[in-house]
Chain A
Amino acid sequence: MVLLECPNCGARNVAEFRYGGELKPRPAQPMAGSEESWVDFVFMKQNKLGLQAEWWYHRAGCGIWFMAERHTKSNQVVKTYRWQPAEKAS
């Protein structure tokens, strides 16, 4: 991967960006979750081999956090988009 498409700035050198890890949905009811579910949220990873939704930060550009869908074996980025919060957290 050499270029990454920033939703604001267009295709830029990947060195301008910082990787922010895989997308993990936050527990919908933070106070209700057990301690174990918080450990899972904080530490456990899917670490997917395949298409992964993940965070990126355009640190040397416009400074937004956005999402990318990337294949973790080929590093091919399928699409990038602004993060949309779920309609209603279930």
Chain B
Amino acid sequence: MSFKLISQALNRNQPPPRMWRQHPLKDRYDVVIIGGGAHGLACAYYLAKEHGITDVAILEKRYIGAGGSGRNTTILRSNYLTPEGVRFYDESLRLYHQMALEFDYNVMFSKRGHLTLAHSDGAVRTMRRRAEVNRLQGVDSRLIWPEQLKALCPPLDVSENPRHPIQAALFHPPGGVIRHDAVVWGYAHHADRMGAEIHQLTEVSGIRVEKGKVSGVETNRGYIKAGTVLNATAGWCSTISEMAGVKLPVTTFPLQACVTEPLKPFLDVIIVSGSLHVYISQSDRGELVMGASVDPFASYSMRGSLGFTEGLAGHMLELFPSLANARLMRQWAGLCDMTPDYSPIMGFTPVDGFLVDVGWGTYGFKATPSSGKRMAELIATNKTPELIHPFRLSRFYEHDLVGEKGAASVSN
């Protein structure tokens, strides 16, 4: 070890110190991706890897992964309610499973098993329906009862004592958690190595459209011509789309989350309660990562609120009475672009060459690999892949919504 250190110090050919490089901004790119989050970077990665398109610029207002990619609670699962959703998120989950191997980089994926609690007859019915839909799509998902739940997660209060006693749970063994920053960095590193350019601190201020076709974007570093522009932002997706004159059915809500001080490992599963609007997992460092549903009113503010902390703590204590003395360490919020049917919006818009990958609500991070792969396919072939066809923007005009009531912010 020490010998290697010395030889490395004397070696002139140092390994590259940066995971991605800085570039001067060119005045033209084939593809400009607005938003340097996991989605935009994944799209650049797949464009280069699977389609050989490397004249790509990723424009990020702040630093990569500053938005939703670094603010989510890192839960990965595919046990959604609609067949369209299950198929899509399952591809994503399978790509996550092999991500460390693909990147040769430790993304700290940890397969935990995902449990969605049901506290009422109605919720049990929905869980059973979800389990059946999942199994039809080949996803490992089943209903379990309180005794089995207790065996899987001993600290959970499955008695009749809480205000909303647990009646059953949807068990989804492939669900897990991952290190979200590593996912962003992994995509950034490999997209950069294959030729895509990452431009941080580059804010888009306008999009030029000529005769119904996008021609370029204006930024704080100058004008860039572009053949294709992809809006892969969250929180600002309506603002960016409006620059191109595209209307979106999106409302932005903050979603708050928090972590406790590190505790001894005691929780090796992910617990979600749709009725109580909370979810919890224990990170590899021992912190309990907890989140809630979106805030009660639309906002772009990312400040925490007492209402959230109170509500979350109250519900969490109903599930885990033993946490009464755990102390909160940090609290933050991320922006969720909610759509009317709780499904994302991916694909073409009325403006030629302006594409969207938006409306990711509370389910954006877990969709990263698949959305990147399929949006790259869409850009390369100029055709909507079968898998994301249900999520096109025109579904609202065709009255063909995908009512995804299995999303985190929906109680069922």
Contacts and interface: CB of A to CB of B under 8 A. Distances in A.
A21 B298 contact: yes
A39 B301 contact: no
A73 B247 contact: no
Query: Binding site of B, secondary structure by majority: helix, strand, loop or mixed?
Result: loop
A47 B238 contact: yes
Given A36-B397, A43-B396, A45-B238, A72 B250 contact: no
A28 interface: no
Interface in B260-307: 296-301, 303, 307
B296 A19 contact: yes
Contact of B299 (A15, A36, A45, A75): A75
A47 B339 CA distance: 11
B238 A46 contact: yes
A48 B301 CA distance: 12
A45 B236 contact: no
A72 B298 contact: yes
B397 A39 contact: yes
Interface residues of A, number: 22
Contacts of B396: 39, 43-44
Contacts of A39: 396-397
Contacts of A48: 238
Contacts of B298: 19, 21-22, 47, 54, 72
Interface in B309-365: 340
A9 interface: no
A49 B239 CA distance: 7
Contacts of B248: 44-45, 47
B345 to A, nearest CB: 11
Interface string B226-238: 0000000000101
12 contacts: A15-B307, A18-B296, A21-B251, A22-B251, A44-B248, A45-B250, A45-B251, A47-B250, A47-B252, A47-B298, A48-B238, A75-B301
Given A44-B247, A72-B252, A73-B301, 16 more contacts: A15-B296, A19-B296, A19-B298, A21-B251, A22-B251, A44-B249, A45-B248, A46-B238, A47-B238, A47-B239, A47-B248, A48-B238, A49-B236, A72-B301, A74-B301, A75-B301
